[in-house]
């Protein structure tokens, strides 16, 4: 419980109507999109600007009050669950696109801007902001930056990190710093910009960002290949790249996933196929046509049962929308859905999918696997019920083994979702004790009082909240 005088100080900073303390409000911010984690915060505050945030942060730092920044809470690592209580900081009043700069190909945004709306605004000017996490209809740019979000276009275009040029940051001591700028090159000191991208709100509060844009590709084509054998699909992924083609999107869906996606979307996906590849290429028309023809050839050589190119934009959108709906459709099967993102080198996709299937059988859990095959970023997804303790335990064991296997195959415990509270116990699998120690030292150097999103990234106890 916060002292009344502190609540008054917060109200004086942001105005009474931007402070919420009712139990209903607090409950709404006690969890995020990640199942199994919940903790009621003490207060929810929506500041107007960087200066107000600096004042709030100073109070929190002085009184060692935990502070969890939160965009739309769509993350899948319990990254925005306020596990230690305290303040939840909202960005709903910081949701403006401040400038689209045609000459420097940049957009300057506040963190509360919804990803999709940013993408649409810049597309209207013939520009592309590539990072497109599946949650982009509701996720915010601030959340994307804090989690270093990926998406379907990551293979060709990279992830959020590759598009952040500059940040305004409030540090835990209340200092306001500006990093980078509208600059393609800047080596003045350590790369604070990229250190903050993906830092999960544990080092400071991002209050403004300069993002890089690229020219909108003139043309796009979408195709689908179906396989009787998962191995052939995985081999196709490698073969495309070995042929020096980098598609914009190269997605994989296994049979269990296709079944539920088709049941919900009804767009004619072949539910009997063991695996589907959804492939998209963009660029100049002649190049796209040449690439898609070559890809179709490769698919056929590697025993694809069917290879079909979307006839028009509508058909293409139906396909990618179906893929984007994978999580939400699987979520309809059971009360709880765990979605992971163990990631391996592209060449290890086939062995990893096999391991996932073996592990599913070993622990007797249903695992639907889909994901960004082109960059080895798989999403093994388990429909379950957290209230069934025995089954839940098996699910946890299965995931632990999946993480171990991913690292064994040269991969990582998380490709795009972040560590959060969810994967904190597994961080040392990837980085070793020495690596985790180095990260903890960085955390300590920025936030000695551990007020910034505590309980995330670093495993302290098996804290899942209330």
- What residues between 155 and 174 interact with a copy of itself by CB under 8 A? 155, 158-159, 161-162, 171
Give the x-and-dash track for 117-156 against a copy of itself (CB under 8 A).
---------xx-------------------xx-x---xx-
Closer of 214 and 267 to a copy of itself (Cβ) = 214
DSSP string, 66-115: -EEEESS---SSSTTS-TT-SEEEE-TT---EEEEETTTTEEEE-TTSBH
Give the x-and-dash track for 323-352 against a copy of itself (CB under 8 A).
--------------------xxxxx-----
Among 6, 59, 97, 241, binds a copy of itself (CB under 8 A): 241
Q: Which is nearest to 373 in space by CA: 356, 359, 394?
A: 356
DSSP string, 7-27: HHHHHHHH-GGGEE-SHHHHH
Q: Interface residues for a copy of itself in 430-459 (CB under 8 A)?
A: 430-432, 434-439, 441-446, 457
13 vs 48: CA distance, rounded Å:
9
Q: Which is nearest to 113 in space by CA: 133, 139, 76, 88?
A: 139
Number of residues that bind a copy of itself (CB under 8 A): 91
Q: Which is nearest to 421 in space by CA: 39, 27, 113, 92?
A: 39
389 vs 269: CA distance, rounded Å:
35
Q: Interface residues for a copy of itself in 299-318 (CB under 8 A)?
A: none
**Span of 33-41, 242-250, 299-307, 325-333 interacting with a copy of itself by CB under 8 A:** 242-250
User: Cβ(2)–Cβ(65) under 8 Å?
Assistant: yes
Q: Interface residues for a copy of itself in 256-285 (CB under 8 A)?
A: 284
78 vs 80: CA distance, rounded Å:
6
Interface with a copy of itself includes 400 (CB under 8 A)? no
Closer of 71 and 85 to a copy of itself (Cβ) = 71
Contacts of 278 by beta carbon, 8 Å cutoff, 6+ apart: 222, 223, 224, 249, 250, 251, 252, 253, 319, 320, 323
Closer of 29 and 403 to a copy of itself (Cβ) = 403
Closer of 309 and 439 to a copy of itself (Cβ) = 439
Closer of 76 and 398 to a copy of itself (Cβ) = 76
Q: Interface residues for a copy of itself in 33-92 (CB under 8 A)?
A: none
CB 195 to a copy of itself: min, Å: 5
Q: Interface residues for a copy of itself in 174-233 (CB under 8 A)?
A: 175-179, 181-192, 194-195, 197-199, 203, 214-216
Closer of 64 and 440 to a copy of itself (Cβ) = 440
Closer of 150 and 454 to a copy of itself (Cβ) = 150
Looking up tokens 């910081």 gives: 94
Among 108, 416, 453, 455, binds a copy of itself (CB under 8 A): 416
Strand 377-384 versus strand 214-215 pairing type? unpaired
Interface with a copy of itself includes 413 (CB under 8 A)? yes
Burial of 102 (C-beta count, 10 Å sphere; 0-12/13-18/19+): exposed
**Span of 34-42, 266-274, 316-324, 412-420 interacting with a copy of itself by CB under 8 A:** 412-420
User: Cβ(127)–Cβ(118) under 8 Å?
Assistant: no
């Amino acid at each position: 419980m916060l002292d009344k005088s502190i609540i008054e100080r917060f109200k004086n900073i942001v105005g009474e109507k931007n402070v919420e303390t009712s139990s209903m409000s607090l409950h709404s911010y006690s969890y995020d999109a990640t199942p199994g984690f919940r903790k009621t915060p003490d207060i929810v505050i929506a500041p107007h600007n960087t200066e107000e945030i600096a004042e709030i942060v100073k109070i929190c730092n002085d009184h060692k009050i935990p502070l969890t920044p939160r965009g739309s809470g769509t993350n899948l690592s319990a990254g925005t669950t306020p596990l230690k209580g305290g303040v939840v900081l909202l960005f709903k009043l910081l949701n403006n696109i401040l400038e689209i700069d045609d000459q420097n190909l940049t957009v300057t945004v506040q963190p509360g801007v919804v990803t999709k709306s940013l993408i649409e605004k810049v597309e209207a000017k013939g520009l592309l902001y590539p990072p497109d996490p599946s949650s982009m209809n509701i996720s915010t740019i601030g959340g994307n930056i804090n989690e270093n979000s990926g998406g379907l276009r990551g293979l060709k275009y990279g992830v959020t990190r590759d598009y952040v040029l500059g940040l305004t940051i409030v540090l835990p001591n209340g200092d306001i710093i500006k990093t980078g700028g509208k600059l393609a090159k800047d080596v003045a000191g350590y790369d604070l910009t990229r250190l903050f991208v993906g830092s999960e709100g544990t080092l400071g509060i991002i209050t403004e960002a300069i993002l890089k844009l690229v020219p909108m590709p003139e043309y796009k084509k979408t195709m689908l290949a179906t396989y009787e054998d998962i191995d052939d699909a995985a081999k196709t992924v490698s073969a495309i790249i070995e042929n020096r083609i980098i598609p914009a999107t190269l997605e994989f869906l296994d049979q269990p996933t296709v079944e539920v996606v088709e049941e919900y979307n009804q767009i004619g996906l072949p539910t009997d196929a063991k695996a589907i590849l959804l492939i998209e290429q963009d660029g100049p028309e002649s190049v796209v046509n040449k690439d898609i023809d070559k890809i179709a050839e490769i698919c056929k050589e590697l025993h694809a049962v069917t290879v079909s190119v979307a006839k028009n934009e509508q058909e293409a959108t139906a396909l990618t929308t179906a893929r984007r709906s994978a999580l939400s459709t699987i979520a309809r099967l059971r009360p709880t859905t765990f979605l992971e993102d163990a990631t391996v080198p592209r060449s290890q996709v086939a062995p990893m999918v096999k391991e996932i299937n073996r592990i599913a059988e070993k622990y007797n859990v249903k695992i639907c696997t889909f994901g960004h095959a082109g960059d080895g970023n798989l999403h093994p997804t388990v429909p379950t019920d957290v209230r069934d303790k025995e089954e839940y335990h098996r699910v946890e064991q299965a995931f632990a083994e999946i993480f171990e296997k991913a690292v064994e195959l040269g991969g990582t415990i998380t490709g795009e979702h972040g560590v959060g509270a969810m994967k904190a116990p597994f961080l040392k699998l990837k980085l070793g004790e020495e690596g985790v120690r180095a990260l903890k030292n960085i955390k300590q150097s920025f936030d000695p009082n551990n007020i910034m999103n505590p309980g995330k990234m670093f495993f302290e106890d098996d804290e899942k909240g209330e």
